[in-house]
Amino acid sequence: MSPPFDRQAEDRPSSLGSTAMDGDGSSTSVRTSAATVPDEVTVPAEVTVLDEVTVPDEIVLDQPAPASRQERVRRTVERIQRLHERDVRTLLLGDRESRHQSAADLIDDNAYPVGVPVTAVVVMAGADDSHVNGLTADLIHQVLRRSVRRADRAGILHLPRRTHGVLLVPSLAPGTEEPDGGVARQLLEEATARWAEAGAIGDPPSVGVGAERRNLSCAVYSYRQAMGAARIAGTMPAFAPLASWGDLGVFGMLSGLGPDQLSAMVPKAIRALQRIEDGVLLDTLEAFLDNSGQVKATASTLYLHRASLYQRIRRIEEITGMRLDDGQARLHLHLGVKAARVLQAMTRPPQA
């Protein structure tokens, strides 16, 4: 017995023949061709196959045009960039095993040179997520891409994040000088220019540079240092707007701490000095400790007579209950005052 014939086949022109565009492009006519019908299918006599079927315009217009070679190349490049960005993200945020695998994948893809040390460079605007961030994610991405093109060096990897951007820079051969002030300086220039063009508000961009690490799989350690250096460069005028981890001294250690941890490091004695005479005694103590307790150098720094400086030192000792000729007391107070400075800088309101 022959199977029933599907009357809806009349509505499926693609099964009847080939298409041909009309001259005005408004519709398409489909004409039947000599199609082979299987022997076991019997077409009932009462069914008439249409000689011409009109296909609505939208069916033709919805068909995607073949991609040009240039478009295919662009899509391929973007796909590779996304894969590399995923590997860089894992390299900086993943566990130890994942970091090693991502480093190997990037080297195998010739995205980074084999056996070459790496240095992380970070750009940000605002030292804390709670600050108004003048560099949006889109601006950060633009800054990174332009900086890579401007550097014109093979192997630089980049990763845009919500509040900052990262470059992983392969070290140059020994004795080779960085052109135009180096990649970090170029990154700062690009960020500053884009920040100004966009009319961004908040703290201006700052850049931090981590220490060099021996291979790509260790880039995360340089990245953490670069983050801390960028925070210090963005909050402490003495280091703005570009700071290297190796130049931060004790501030490098403090830069990796959050506000709660920094607050815990500020002793009661320092908090008491902050409240007296608008912090004049705290400034005096910091200058005295920075000058290794030398009265003459401290007086010169503060533009004070020695007698006035001695009076302030006695008041500081009375308030803190500590003698400034005691090495342990001086270390305790010195670290506390530096923690207070970093905490104050990180928690201040952003610039308008």
Q: Find the mean pLDDT for residues 58-79.
A: 68
SS3 for 243-269 is EEHHHCCHHHHHHCCCHHHHHHHCCHH
pLDDT digits over 308-339, tens only?
A: 999 999 999 999 999 999 999 999 999 999 99
Token readout for 260 is 């709660």
Q: 343 near 335, Cβ under 8 Å?
A: no
The CATH code that applies to domain 114-255 is 3.30.70.270
Token readout for 141 is 């991405």
| Count, residues in the chain | 352
Within 10 angstroms of residue 252's Cβ, the number of other Cβ atoms is 18
Hey, where are the domains in the chain?
A: 7-61, 114-255, 259-347
DSSP sequence for 210-244: ---BSSGGGHHHHHHHHHHHHHHHHH-TTT-SEEE
The CATH code that applies to domain 259-347 is 1.10.10.2840
DSSP conformation class of 348: S
pLDDT digits over 164-175, tens only?
A: 999 999 987 665
pTM listed for this prediction: 0.70
Handedness of CA 104, 110, 112, 117 (dihedral sign): positive
**What is the per-residue pLDDT for 187?**
95
* pLDDT tier for residue 177 given thresholds of 50, 70 and 90: low
114-255 and 259-347, same CATH topology: no
pLDDT digits over 229-255, tens only?
A: 998 998 888 899 999 999 998 898 898
Handedness of CA 313, 314, 316, 320 (dihedral sign): positive
CA 114 to chain centre: 24
**Residue ranges with strand state E in 157-204:** 157-160, 164-170
